[in-house]
């Protein structure tokens, strides 16, 4: 499976200009409401429950909000970028610029963990992060992700 099997181009938000974590999560959830088979409120509930356990802002300008939900059948994945950075309660206390949001069906724990690990590995590559930040458009962001997206 590749990330782009689930991350469609229209699920990439290249210019998030928000000031609060809640706004970021709502923006990342919005494109999924049409395809998820569940409500925006239910998707938000899962993400906010996970955030209450501890921020998914892992530091280094990166956040990977995620959760599991019985009401969906497939993996849901979105991507967002903020050039100026957003306070996401990151572990290092610094602004967050790059967001991958993942929601999987409740029984997909193995896949959930594999995708989290795959995203984390990709984002440890400084040049990948730089290319994500330098990309001008949604299409450019898609191409940057595609260039690193291999089967796992």
The CATH number of whichever domain residue 66 belongs to comes to: 3.40.930.10
Q: Do 85 and 96 meet the contact criterion of CB atoms below 8 Å apart?
A: yes
User: Which residue reads 């999560």 in tokens?
Assistant: 25
pLDDT at 119: 95
pLDDT at 1: 80
Parent domain of 113: 3-148
At 27, is the secondary structure helix, strand, or coil? helix
DSSP for 28-97? HHGGGTTTSSS-HHHHHHHHHHHHHHS--EEETTEE--EEEETT-SS-EEEEEEEEEEE----TTSS-EE
| Under-70 pLDDT residues of the chain | 151-152
Q: Do 78 and 7 meet the contact criterion of CB atoms below 8 Å apart?
A: yes
pLDDT at 152: 57
The whole-angstrom separation of Cα 89 and Cα 24 is 12
pLDDT at 150: 76
Q: Do 29 and 47 meet the contact criterion of CB atoms below 8 Å apart?
A: yes
For residue 90, give the nearest of 54, 121, 48 by alpha carbon: 54
Domain total of the chain = 1
From 22, 66, 97, 112, active-site residue: 66
Q: Do 7 and 145 meet the contact criterion of CB atoms below 8 Å apart?
A: yes
Quick check: is 22 catalytic? Answer: no
């Amino acid at each position: 499976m590749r990330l782009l099997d689930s991350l469609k181009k229209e699920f990439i938000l290249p210019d998030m200009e928000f000031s609060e974590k809640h706004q970021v999560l709502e923006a990342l959830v919005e494109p999924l409401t049409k395809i998820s088979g569940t409500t925006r409120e239910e998707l938000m509930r899962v993400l906010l429950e996970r955030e209450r356990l501890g921020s998914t802002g892992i530091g280094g300008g990166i956040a990977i909000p995620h959760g599991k939900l019985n009401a969906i059948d497939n993996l849901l994945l979105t991507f967002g970028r903020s050039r100026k950075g957003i306070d996401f309660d990151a572990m290092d206390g610094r602004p967050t610029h790059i967001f991958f949001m993942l929601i999987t069906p409740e029984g997909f724990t193995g896949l959930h963990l594999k995708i989290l690990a795959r995203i984390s590995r990709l984002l440890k590559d400084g040049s990948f992060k730089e290319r994500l930040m330098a990309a001008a458009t949604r299409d450019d962001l898609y191409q940057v992700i595609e260039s690193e997206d291999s089967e796992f």
